Structure 1
Amino acid sequence: MNTAARVCVVGNAAIDLSVQVNALPLPGETVLAVESRSDFGGKGANQAVVAARAGAETQLFAALGCDADGDRILARLIDDGVNTQNVVRLSCASDLSIVTVDARGENTIVTRNTAAADYRPDLHTLLDATHAGDWIVQQGNLSAPVTAEVLDTARRKQRRTLLNPGPVRFDCRPMLAHVDILVVNQVEAAALTALDNPAHAAAALHDAGAREVLITLGAQGVLWCDEHGARLAAAVRAQAIDTVGAGDAFCGTLVAALAQNLTMPIALRWALSVAASSVTRRGSQASFPDRATMRDLRNASADAE
């Protein structure tokens, strides 16, 4: 039996302030909120929390401000079983995202990323904290040079890599030779390739160097492209009320599944079912299934093979 790999997320952590509205405001328009709430977020922290709840040994490399929000975020990560030994504190405000969600579950997000922008992970510490075969996961919240450096180091030292480059702030295609799995949504894929057809975009990103490309298509599922071509993994049907964090639920579950030696088809089914579960609740980390539900969804995904 193969030993499970570990998951190391290198990214950001934030407080999410969510505002529920009937319709997203147009430029210059003021609308009344139906309700508001504060939650824990940040794509890096989100994916680490999901991976930990999915049973993977998970650690987070990230930066927090030296403020009360940073204290709250750190305590929440520890409560969720994420190793925070390499979460550093910087002399700035912790990151904050303002999320506006409409009645259909669609959203817009504005982010303050001072801590993430100033963060540069120590690569020697990163290598000491991981072994060959472990997964290193990144998003698009850190700078392009930092992202490229982490991916290059990971590949040279036989770590496996998953890149989920949202938000797309730079062209990650030159980095894809160091990426085992690239996860993007349809909008991000089009932004990177200038191709609106997901199958064509997936092929282009695979040709650019990514070993496997996953394009999430919302209610349609996920397009999976590798050296054997492209095929669709069907979505799990759900009545969405809030899509915030669904992509992070997918990525965190996927990498946890692969770290636990599940096959890609089972990993995709499990990740899609967790993402579907998350959109039926409001919030970011508050919407993610708990550990018991994660196990149930895993078992159902394995039984479906």
Structure 2
Amino acid sequence: MTKRYDEISVMNKNSRESRYFLQDGYKFRPVSIHDSQAKHFWQHHPYAGWVDVCVDDVTAVMFLANDDGVALIYHAFGPDSYESTSVAIWLALARECKNIVDIGAFTGLYTILAQRAAPTASVISVEPNSASRARLINNLVWNSCRIDQVSPCAVAKTVAVLPLFVPMGADLLDTGSKLSDADSVSRTEIVACAPIDAILDSFTMKTPDLLKIDVEGFEEQALQGARRTLTNKATLILEVQTRFREQCRAILEPAGYQLFAINDEDPDLSPPLHQLSEQQLNELQPRPDSTLNLLCVARPGHLLLAEKAVARIRDLVS
């Protein structure tokens, strides 16, 4: 064995022994990628290897080279920990769907859960960041998932070629790659962009049931390129920035959707956004750059499944 191998083995042993959820007195709590304890763990207890991921009764693995915040959270905080409410809703809906799309798939959590929960479903992953996509495919392989439905495109209103700005450095995978507002840039990739409907056509998927859309400020353009998908009343989990929330509402609510804010810190769904006052909306997203996951639903059965998923996470917290 090499000296470096021995060093990594010692590092991993320390990391495994330091995991928060295994410590005496630990109480389950939902965790976001910006959590201060998660950052502390990443800095002081690095880990390189496979991480167990468990959401409800679905298990998987994700590779971590101390570079993926999603895998890190499952490693440090245990089952159901990452964005608990949103992920639980996704899993509950995916179990009942046949055509599923994960847009902004990053390293594959939502894709893997969908494929493992609904093995006969068609699941498309869309991820333009080449480094994240490479890890996504690696994770799919080691979870015995299909890898033939991964698109390298970014989503936009029309077909185009645009720069993708990646904020993080070479030693970190980043969930925040974007086509606009490049305040901090580590590297730039030139990527092909296409409407969601066109991307689905390339995989011969005409009637999706469920989509997750995480496109870092391009959500309005993404929805404008998904007119047929919205006509089919596919359920969406949509990450939206404050400054684009009303534009997205203007597309979705006239199409028959109700929009509910997902609370990933204190498991809950808000009342429909159209019932909230301006003050209540501002409390949900106090800053122009605040992000919020929205459940956008036009199928009553899907809302019921989402509410049961929220209740499951609430029981874990209580």
Q: Normalising by structure 1, what TM-score? A: 0.44
Larger Rg over CA atoms = 2
Highest relative contact order (Cα 8 Å, sep 6+), 1 or 2? Answer: 1
